[in-house]
Amino acid sequence: MSPSLEARDLTKQFGRFTALNGLNLKIEGTKCVGFLGPNGAGKTTTLKLLTDMIFPTRGEAFINGVSSRRDRKRALGDAGVLIESPEIYSSLTPNEALGMVADLRGLPAADRRDRIRTVLGEVKMTEWADQKVGRFSKGMKQRINIAAALVHDPDVLILDEPSTGLDPRGMAEVRSIVRDLKKSQRLIFMSSHILSEVVDVCDEVALIDKGKLLFYDSLDNVTSRFADGHQSVDAMLARPVGADQVGQTVATLPGVSSATLLDPRRIRIKFTGGLAAQERLVEALVGLHLGVLQVTESESALEEIYLQQISRGD
Amino acid sequence: MAGATVDLPAGRLHVPQSGQQVTKLARYQFREYLRSRRFVALAGIVVAIGVIVTAIVAHFRGGLVASNLAFYGSFWGGGSPFVAVLAAVFFGGDAIAGEFQNKTGYFLMGLPLRRGTVYVGKFIAAYLAGVAMMLLFLVILVLNGVYYFGGSAFPWQLGISFVLALVYLSAVLGATFFFSSLFKTSAYGFVLTALLFIIGFTLLQDVVTGLVKIEPWMLISYADSAIGTIFASPVNWGLSGTITTSSMMVGRMHIVTTTYTAGIAEGVVIMIVYLLLAAIGGLLLFEREEFS
């Protein structure tokens, strides 16, 4: 059975405030899904309902087909959870904290030590394995929390803004860890309000605002569906170019609707025609001898869609 | 990636039974208590109480060491309930509330554990830490007893009184866990338990016996008297208390005082009822508590 997460008519009210309003969402398979939305949109509420940390006013949440409200123990058995950057008992070392998690999850004693060493390696905390967690920085604690979510090699990973509150280096490290996690066959459901993070790491995206799901689709589909048929890429150059040069060369290429110089070595190109057009565009760009180093999907595409969808609800 | 990847055995893991998880969790939590500053601090307080008792006995002697039963009746009977309350406040005050306030609960609640497992595991750990404090106090008194009474330092009543004190500890801890579950702020649990058990119940007992003039069977402070009265002769093992009336003249006023002392069985029943009501109430509260 492939891993899955499901919300059926999931609703949560805090007093008169509706934090989540009839969410229906089914995610199945091994992939990474970004759960996007502005602060207060209902992202963390959804994840807490999925993991039975709070209780639904209406509806039900399922992990691998098991209702987390009715049988939280079985539902969370195959899930790794990181919500709200938890604190670990300060007197424990990473080895001890992960040992406790492994023990409570029923990892065979014979495999425990090696498995803990592996996950500490994955989050690059091996050399801190026997230091007290109480002395750790926020970023280090977060890495131990990720290791704790991974220690039993779960089918499903639920991550709530894993890089929030970290410095740029910490954010990059967490992103790199999540990218590595994708290589293993599991379903990762990660909430974030950092668009670049989602573009960088996820295959699919779900957007939520004011407790309502606005869309859930693959990144490619979302981009083509909401961008009026336009796609957007950023070309990085080895040498600086001028705006005139860009206007006379790149902007006139077939399928290109606009080319904007973001900085002397970066051009944002809007075009139509899908993947085939993108392939022709890259070849043509190389042919212009501008010193193209790389062409990447523009982060702004999702950003534009995000802002457009969010502002529609205002 | 450092180190070789270790694959877990084929098939999904078997999450332990809730009973096993309780034992495991209690073991880790108890270790956490043993390493905590509060454990060292409370041990220091208990030793300090023991030193004061030792100094008082050494200085005054007389009736205090007239017999081993009088000695234990005064100091174990009077001191152990206080140590139990301190232990409950120190180890139970923030046991549940602290999980919310310090966000450690998010670490535990992401695991496949029932809420009841967390509650019971933490209760057992706090109880064991409290038992350690009771034992420490007992050892100090017994050392005094050995010094003054030699081979008579171990009357059978002391064993029963120790068990009664442990029952009392469980009842107070039950109440502490109830308050700790009621609030998401640790300080409330600490303050309410301390106020209630050190001052509140004693005041209530004075009101019930002095003004209402009935046996205060509904108060746990009445029940804890069984810990000391076991050293009296004859022992009231019964389910009803002993009523002693005395009168005296203060100036022209004739004052009659009535003292109620719980029978041993009565004291045990009251303590167990408190334990069950408070612990179950706290558990039900925790079952409904949201990590929002």
Residue of chain A minimizing CA distance to B24: A104
Q: Which of A207, A222, A237 is the last residue of a domain?
A: A222
- CA distance, residue B17 to nearest chain A CA (Å): 9
Task: Count residue pairs from A and B with Cβ separation < 8 A.
Answer: 123
Between the two ends of chain B, the Cα-to-Cα distance in Å is 35
What is the structure's pLDDT at A314? 58
Place of tokens 């002697």: B61
Question: Do A207 and A272 reside in the same domain of the chain?
Answer: no
Q: Which of A160, A194, A222 is the last residue of a domain?
A: A222
Question: Do A206 and A245 reside in the same domain of the chain?
Answer: no
Best B28, B94, B107 residue to mutate vs chain A (most A CBs within 10 Å): B107
Question: Do A140 and A275 reside in the same domain of the chain?
Answer: no
What is the structure's pLDDT at A300? 66
C-alpha to C-alpha distance for A259 and A237, rounded to whole angstroms: 14
Instruction: Report, as ranges of residue numbers, the positions in chain B whose pLDDT lies below 70.
Output: 1-12
Residue of chain B minimizing CA distance to A123: B1
ipTM: 0.83
Question: Do A155 and A196 reside in the same domain of the chain?
Answer: yes
Neighbour order of strands in the sheet with A256-263: A256-263, A266-272, A230-237, A292-297
Is B110's CB within 8 Å of A73's CB? no
Residue A273's domain is classified under what CATH number?
Answer: 3.30.70.100
What digits encode the pLDDT tens for the residues B76-116? Answer: 999 999 999 999 999 998 899 888 888 899 999 999 999 99
Question: Do A281 and A156 reside in the same domain of the chain?
Answer: no
- Average confidence (pLDDT) per 10 residues, chain A, 314 residues: 93 94 95 91 95 96 95 94 90 94 93 93 92 90 93 94 81 84 87 83 91 89 70 89 90 88 89 84 91 83 74 63
C-alpha to C-alpha distance for A314 and A81, rounded to whole angstroms: 32
> Would you say B94 and B186 are in contact if contact means Cβ atoms under 8 Å apart?
yes
B114–A contact, CB cutoff 8 A: yes
DSSP one-letter code for A294: E
Residue A142's domain is classified under what CATH number?
Answer: 3.40.50.300
Question: Do A49 and A197 reside in the same domain of the chain?
Answer: yes
Domain of residue A252: give its range.
Answer: 227-312
B13: tokens are: 């893991």
Q: Which of A180, A198, A222 is the last residue of a domain?
A: A222
Question: Do A11 and A153 reside in the same domain of the chain?
Answer: yes
Question: Do A38 and A186 reside in the same domain of the chain?
Answer: yes
Question: Do A207 and A244 reside in the same domain of the chain?
Answer: no
H-state helical runs in chain A: 43-50, 72-75, 94-105, 109-122, 138-150, 168-183, 195-201, 219-226, 243-248, 274-287, 299-312
Is A72's CB within 8 Å of B112's CB? yes
Please count the structural domains in chain A: 2
Question: Do A90 and A216 reside in the same domain of the chain?
Answer: yes
Question: Do A60 and A183 reside in the same domain of the chain?
Answer: yes
Place of tokens 């939305």: A37
Is A83's CB within 8 Å of B290's CB? no
Question: Do A305 and A208 reside in the same domain of the chain?
Answer: no
